[in-house]
């Protein structure tokens, strides 16, 4: 039996989680799933594939994805603040 993973708060471990991207006529929606299939987070629509790609990259790096942001602006949390 494996130990229970604490997914409370924003600093849960990313390893083993799954990300689902819903492709819709008017944009993309990102949903994060725990190992057991439970929905951990869901993000509002991004207008472009490039924007949803940026959001996935930020989430995988341990940041909170920015819904609307310039591609050349860094996320608000410094690296190392969130475990991956």
Confidence of residue 82 (pLDDT cuts 50, 70, 90): very low
Instruction: Record the pTM.
Output: 0.70
| Beta carbons of 14 and 84 less than 8 angstroms apart | yes
User: In whole numbers, what is the pLDDT of the chain averaged over residues?
Assistant: 79
DSSP 49-80: HHHHHHHHHHHHTTSPPPSS--TTSPPSSPTT
Give domain status of residue 42, yes or no.
yes
Within-domain flag for 45: yes
Q: What is the pLDDT of residues 25-66, one digit of tens each?
A: 989 999 999 988 999 999 888 889 999 999 999 998 888 888
Type and span of the H or E element at 17: none
For residue 23, being part of any structural domain is answered with yes
CATH number at residue 41: 3.30.160
Neighbours of 77 (CB within 10 A): 15
Range of the domain at 49: 18-60
Quick check: 70 and 58 in contact, CB under 8 A? no
């Amino acid at each position: 039996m494996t130990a229970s993973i604490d997914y409370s708060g924003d600093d849960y471990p990313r390893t083993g989680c799954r990300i689902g991207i819903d492709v819709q006529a008017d944009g993309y929606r990102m949903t994060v799933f725990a190992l057991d299939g439970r929905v951990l987070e869901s993000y509002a629509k991004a207008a472009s594939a490039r924007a949803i790609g940026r959001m996935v990259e930020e989430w995988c790096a341990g940041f909170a994805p920015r819904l609307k942001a310039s591609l050349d602006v860094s996320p608000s949390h410094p690296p190392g603040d969130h475990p991956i």
